[in-house]
Structures are given as structure tokens and as C-alpha cells.
Amino acid sequence: MTINQIFHNGHQGLARAACLLGGAVWGLYWIPLRTLDSTGISGAWASALFNLIALVFLAPLILIRLRPLLAGGLQIQLTGATLGLTLLVYATAFLYTDVVHAILLYYLTPIWGALFGRLWLKEKISPDQLVGIGFGIVGMMVILHIDEGFPWPRNIGDWMALSAGILWALGATMTRRFPEQHTLDIVSTWFLWCTIFAIIAGLIFQGSQSIPDLATIIPVVYWIIPIVVLIVIPTFIAITWGLPQLNPGTSGLLFMTEISVVTVSAAILTDEHIGVRELLGVALISLAGLAEVILPRLRRAH
């Protein structure tokens, strides 16, 4: 193996780890959102607050990189806008449908990612990818009681979750299609556009009377800032760096760790039941995320 191959393989491993971490962190995203909702900062306004705080702390980096950021032109703005809209639509979907349906329909992402990768990037869909997609879909079906019928989109929240999955696959493909885009520039535009879209959505769907006032915001800022600075921003940077290193379908599979984290955290922190069915689903979905790592090693071992 050459030095370049070793370097490439190391990058691939770190990129997979970044996407696995991203999925795990997003699996806990519902906790601060639900806490904000209980304080009166609900829906799109909660997303707006999170992203606005991130923008404030990234402001020095944005100013330092303002010239290359502007030089990125329409490509960088479209990439950031796609990722920002994805996050907002996905988070908002939970307001209009149940968590289980939102997660299932969003995590058809590996299918869209594999298709985008094939059609736009001319990347082959590998057998290992197909196995991973199979594990993921079967795991979701187990958790979602497939024996009671397939849960097709039935309301606006379901369609939003499905749309968010397609948007995420598109955004991931764009980061790979335009690899010259700098990670910090993508993250900055991601937070910027998510903030803009969240404010617009809050005004349209919740009304101007729903805008949280300072008396509501100040008491929660003290615990939101550490979460954003120590967890959200580093995770988004890791994800944005990792996405261009991987096939869009592969990154979608790795993000499936979110489903496992959501299932376990909801069982621990809420009254939701977790039994054999849920544990089996979590195991299958975890295998989906690891299939492209485990299967090649098993073949080499034989």
C-alpha cells in the first residue's frame, strides 16, 4: 500500500467517524428543542435561536474568510441554503407528525444519496452499500411495526420529513460535487441560511405574535451557549468536513446512528417504551452504518 493510499484510507476512516458522531449528536437534538418549547420558545424560533447564537460565535471566522466566502459565489450559497433548509424542515416536521414517522421518512436518505451519487457524480452503488441500505430499511421497518402496514406519508409533517431526507442527500452530494468549497465557509452559510429560513417560517406559520421576547430568551441563553459552542459548532464542522470524503449514500447510512440514539435516549428520558422490537431495530440500523467498514474486513479475513 502506498503512502497516498494510507493517507486516503485514514481520511475515509475519519470521515466515517465524523458522520457517525454527527448522527449521534443529532439523535439528542430533540432534548434542547423540547426544553426550549417548554419555556415558550417553540417551533422555528427554537431553530432560529440555536443558529443565530452559532453565527454570533462564528462571526470572527466569517470576517476573516469574508473574501473567499464571497468568491465562492452561488455554489457556496446554494450548498449552505440546501443544508440549512434541510435542518429546519426536518426539525419542524416533528411539530406536525410523530417522531417515528418523521425519522423513518427522513432516513430514506441513503436511497436518495445513492441515486444522487450515481446520477450526478457517476459513482457506482456498491454491493456493500446495498447491504447497508437493506439493513437500515429492515431495521426501520422492525421499529415501525411493518406487520401493521407500511407507514406512507399521511400528513404535512410526513411529507416534510421525506423532503428533508431528499434535501440532505442533495446537500451532501453538492459538498462532494464542489470539493473546493472550504469547510468553514459551508458551515457559516449553513447556519446563516438556517437562521433566515427559520425566521421566515416562524413568521409565516407561527405569526409575529409568537416571537419570543428577551424576558423569555435571557434565562435560557446561559445553557444554550455552552451546547452550541462545545457541541453543535464542532459537530457541524466535523460533518461538513466528512461529507465530501464519502459517497452521499454512504454518509446517509452512517447518519442512521441518529435513529438508535433517539430510540435509546427517548426510552431513558421519557415514558416511551423500549423492548425487544426496538433493540432489534437499533442493532440492524447500527449494522447499516457499519456495513461498508465490516464487510470488506470480513472478506479480507477469509
Is the residue at 198 inside a domain? yes
As for how many domains the chain has, the answer is 1
Lowest mean per-residue pLDDT among 2-6, 85-89, 141-145: 2-6
Give the pLDDT band of residue 218 (cuts 50, 70, 90).
very high
Check residue 2 and give its pLDDT.
40
In the predicted model, what is the mean pLDDT of residues 194-218?
90
| Phi, psi (deg, nearest 5) at residue 42 | -115, 165
Q: Has this prediction a pTM greater than 0.95?
A: no
Is the residue at 1 inside a domain? no
Is the residue at 38 inside a domain? yes
In the predicted model, what is the mean pLDDT of residues 273-290?
72
Residue 40 has pLDDT above 60, yes or no: yes
Mean pLDDT for all residues in the chain = 81
Residue 276 has pLDDT above 80, yes or no: no
Most confident residue range from 72-76, 122-126, 252-256, 278-282 = 72-76
Compare 197 and 244 and report the one with higher pLDDT.
197
Is the residue at 224 inside a domain? yes
Q: Of all residues in the chain, what percent carry a pLDDT higher than 90?
A: 19
b/e per residue, 204-235, with b = 16+ CB within 10 A?
A: eeeeeeeebeeeebeebeeebeeebeeebbeb
Check residue 115 and give its pLDDT.
82
Check residue 151 and give its pLDDT.
59
- How far apart CA 22 and CA 26 sit, in angstroms, is 6
Check residue 5 and give its pLDDT.
42
Grid coordinates standing for 202?
416562524
Most confident residue range from 4-18, 177-191, 242-256, 283-297 = 177-191
Is the residue at 230 inside a domain? yes
In the predicted model, what is the mean pLDDT of residues 77-84?
92
Is the residue at 7 inside a domain? no
Is the residue at 4 inside a domain? no
In the predicted model, what is the mean pLDDT of residues 23-36?
82
What is the C-alpha radius of gyration for the chain, rounded to an integer number of angstroms? 19
Amino acid at 125: I
Domain limits for position 132: 20-301
- How far apart CA 187 and CA 192 sit, in angstroms, is 9
Is the residue at 59 inside a domain? yes
Q: Could you report the per-residue pLDDT of 107-136, keeping only the tens digit for each?
A: 777 778 778 888 877 777 788 878 877 887
Question: Does residue 94 sit in helix, strand or coil?
Answer: coil
Could you count the other beta carbons within 10 Å of the beta carbon of residue 286? 18
Check residue 225 and give its pLDDT.
94
